[in-house]
Structure 1
Amino acid sequence: MSRRTRLLGLAVAGTGAAHFVAPKAFEPISRRPFPDDTRRWVLRNGATEVAIGLAIAGPRTRALGIAALACYATWLATRFAAR
């Protein structure tokens, strides 16, 4: 399980890093829940995903990272639902 969880964390962190490498790719998705300052939100979400992913990848911070991922996913879902 820890290998899969570590890979999940690295995938989340990689997706977050992609927000910085290719922010325009995330703008169409982010425009609906974040219509104001979309680019800034793309970068904020990228930073959040890098932090959460790295927390999940590390064994000592894994539980916190998984809890943070659940909270973050819930928050994103509410942003999408509100628009």
Structure 2
Amino acid sequence: MSPARSALLLAGLMASAGLAHFAAPRQFDAIVPGSLPGGPRAWTTASGVVELALAAGLTLPATRRASAHATALFFAGVFPANVKMAYDWRHRSTTARAVAYARLPLQVPLILWARHAGMPDVRRGPVGDHG
């Protein structure tokens, strides 16, 4: 898949996640690490705004590369929330625990996806066409 197409799909994911922070904020509030200053809702709102801004940046060729790098950093930055969720859900049902634990290694392919989305989109013509 081309980096440009990958970036647009990633933008869709980021926009969906960003909107979810406003549509159902309590689920995000619950995974904000308590060691962060301020209240969980402030962090939920801020991360939703950041996700929407990253989504917008991924859609524009002029800002795609910088936004893709920032998206990779964002995925790394929210990892502590996923760790908190896995810890908090350790006594829930097997299905809930599986969901929480699956989020942990999922950060790696998300980071790699963001890095791919930021690569130059080199389009090649037919074989032999180097013009």
- Give the TM-score normalised by the residue count of structure 1: 0.77
Aligned length: 81
Stretches (4+) displaced over 6 A: none
Structure 2: give runs of 5+ residues left out of the alignment.
85-131
Q: Which has the higher contact order (CA 8 A, sep 6+)?
A: 1
Partner of 2:129: none
Deviations, residues 59-78 of structure 1 (Å, cap 9, x unaligned): 2211011111122223333x
- Asked whether the 8 Å contact 2:15–2:55 carries over to 1, the reply is yes
Q: Distance between the aligned counterparts of 1:74 and 1:42, measured in 2?
A: 16
Which one has a larger percent helix, Structure 1 or Structure 2?
A: 1
- Asked whether the 8 Å contact 1:10–1:54 carries over to 2, the reply is no
User: What is the percent sequence identity of the aligned residues?
Assistant: 30
Partner of 2:128: none
- Give the TM-score normalised by the residue count of structure 2: 0.52
- Asked whether the 8 Å contact 2:7–2:59 carries over to 1, the reply is yes
Equivalent residue in structure 2 for 1:16, among 15, 18, 27: 18
Structure 1: give runs of 5+ residues left out of the alignment.
none
Q: Find the structure with the greater CA-based Rg.
A: 2
Equivalent residue in structure 2 for 1:65, among 35, 57, 67: 67
